[in-house]
Amino acid sequence: MSTPNEPGQPGQPGQPGEPGVLVLAGTPIGDPSDAPARLGAELAAADIVAAEDTRRLRRLARELDVRPAGRVVSYFEGNERARTPELARELERGARVLLVTDAGMPSVSDPGYRLVVAAVTAGARVTAVPGPSAVLTALAVSGLPVDRFCFEGFLPRRAGERAARLAEVAAEPRTLVFFEAPHRLGATLAAMAEAFGGERRAAVCRELTKTHEEVRRGPLRELAAWAEAGGARGEITLVVAGAERAPARSADPAELARRVADREAAGEPRKAAIAGVAREAGLPKRQV
């Protein structure tokens, strides 16, 4: 008689009565050969495969020359709320559930977050098969700073709501990454030029890793004009430079000294007081 295998590995269920495993698997964003090596093993081992589009999942499985052994069910925006409890119950019974989306990592502007929360609540293990990401790929090829960035996903479709969201991040110094549909790209770039300034640098990354991949870089005003002329089709990821920091302000030395002294009198260590005042004043600590 074989001994039970360690839970969490493909094809190796946990002990009877133990909660199951939820596996979030990355899928190619374009080129099928970018599929993670472990994806085929997970497809062959899962009790249930929850896919954003079951037809695309079966096409990918054929390209990987693997046949899903378990039940394949749809899990997309329209049924995510209703299907999550069903999958959570299967996890409670010890099932191995594999979650895949059409492209990239689940939960990143795609279904998955609700199921992860439900799995954690059920005591199931949550793990991942890391894979391609349009966000990181676009950042890498954009030519814009990548040391600090934030992902904003899709902007609101309505012009007023979109303008309000862009106003919220206009002063953000980190590089910004957005997803957008091609038919809204021109309006979005024009709104960005209005909110951020037409000279703000950006990159439109189109059809990443696919045959017609294109990365178009330039000021927002130029990119907006290009897009309005019908320049973009396919999957779009936008990368926009962060706001430039305002130049350091000067301040009255006596006022700075008083503010540091007030912090020290309140019990704050001198170095911490200096750092706090420098942060508030927008000045280097050395100057304070």
Please determine, for residue 3, whether its predicted confidence score (pLDDT) is greater than 60: no
Q: For residue 191, what are the CA distances in angstroms to 56, 172, 185?
A: 34, 16, 10
| DSSP helix/strand/coil, 99 | strand
Q: What pLDDT digit, counting tens, does each position of 256-283 carry? A: 899 899 888 888 889 888 988 887 777 8
Check residue 17 and give its pLDDT: 67
Q: What pLDDT digit, counting tens, does each position of 67-87 carry? A: 998 999 999 999 999 999 999
Check residue 250 and give its pLDDT: 64
| DSSP helix/strand/coil, 181 | coil
Q: Which domains does the chain have, with CATH numbers?
A: 21-132 (3.40.1010.10), 135-240 (3.30.950.10), 246-288 (no CATH)
Under DSSP, the state recorded for 72 is: E
> What six digits make up the tokens of 164?
């309000």
The owner of tokens 């062959």 is 44
Q: Compute φ and ψ for 114, nearest 5 degrees.
A: -60, -40
Cα atoms found within 13 Å of the Cα of residue 243, Cβ hemisphere only:
16
| DSSP helix/strand/coil, 138 | helix
Higher-pLDDT residue of 8, 56: 56
| DSSP helix/strand/coil, 270 | helix
